[in-house]
Structure 1
Amino acid sequence: MTTDSFAGHQDTCIIIFAKYPAPNKAKTRLQPALGVEGAARMARQLLLHSIDQAIDTGFSVELCVSPVPTDSCWQAFDLPNSLRWSAQTDGDLGLRMLVASQLALQHFKKVVLVGTDCPSLTVSCIQTAVKQLDQHDAVMVPATDGGYVLLGFTQVDESLFSDIIWSTASVAAVTKQRIAALGWTLALFDPLHDIDEPKDLKHLPSGWLDFHIKVDGS
Structure 2
Amino acid sequence: MNEVRLVIFTRFPEPGQAKTRLIPALGPEGAAAVHRRLTERTLQAARQSGLRIEVHVTGARAAAFAEWLGDDLRLVAQTDGDLGARLQAAAAPTPVLFVGSDLPDLTAAHLVEAARQLDAGRTVIGPAEDGGYWALGLTGPADYLFSDMPWSTERVFALTVERLGRHGIEPVLLPTLADCDTPEDLSRWPDLRALPTGGEAASSGSGLRPRTE
Question: Which TM-score tier does this pair reach, normalised by the shorter chain?
Answer: 0.7 to 0.9
Structure 1 residues 89 and 64, CA, compared in 2 at 3 Å: closer, same or farther?
same
Cα deviation 1:163-211 (Å, max 9, x = unaligned): 101111111111111111111131012321110001111232x633213
Equivalent in the alignment of 1:23: 15
- State the percentage of identical aligned residues: 38
**Residue of 19, 26, 34 corresponding to 1:42:** 34
Structure 1 residues 138 and 46, CA, compared in 2 at 3 Å: closer, same or farther?
same
Structure 1 residues 130 and 89, CA, compared in 2 at 3 Å: closer, same or farther?
same
User: What is the correspondence of 1:127-206 to structure 2 with a 5 Å cutoff?
Assistant: 127-204=112-189
Equivalent in the alignment of 1:207: 191
Equivalent in the alignment of 1:123: 108
Equivalent in the alignment of 1:85: 75
Equivalent in the alignment of 2:204: none
Structure 2 residue runs of 5 or longer lacking an equivalent are 198-213
- SS of residue matched to 1:77: helix
Write the letter of the residue equivalent to 1:158.
D
Under a length normalisation based on structure 1, what TM-score does the superposition of the two structures give? 0.84
Cα deviation 1:49-81 (Å, max 9, x = unaligned): 1111111100100001114653x5425414141
Structure 1 residue runs of 5 or longer lacking an equivalent are 1-8, 214-218
- SS of residue matched to 2:184: helix
User: Any conservation in 2 of the 1:195–1:201 contact (CA below 8 Å)?
Assistant: yes
Question: What count of residue pairs does the alignment treat as equivalent?
Answer: 197
- SS of residue matched to 2:91: helix
Partner Cα separation in structure 2 for residue 145 and residue 88 of structure 1: 24
Cα deviation 1:20-51 (Å, max 9, x = unaligned): 11101111111222222111100011111111
Partner Cα separation in structure 1 for residue 121 and residue 186 of structure 2: 33
Partner Cα separation in structure 1 for residue 75 and residue 66 of structure 2: 13
Cα deviation 1:138-184 (Å, max 9, x = unaligned): 10111101111111011121101111011111111111111111111
* TM superposition shift of 1:92: 1.3
Under a length normalisation based on structure 2, what TM-score does the superposition of the two structures give? 0.85
* TM superposition shift of 1:14: 0.3
Partner Cα separation in structure 1 for residue 121 and residue 67 of structure 2: 39
Are 1:74 and 2:46 matched, yes or no?
Answer: no
User: Any conservation in 2 of the 1:68–1:87 contact (CA below 8 Å)?
Assistant: no
Structure 1 residues 128 and 78, CA, compared in 2 at 3 Å: closer, same or farther?
closer
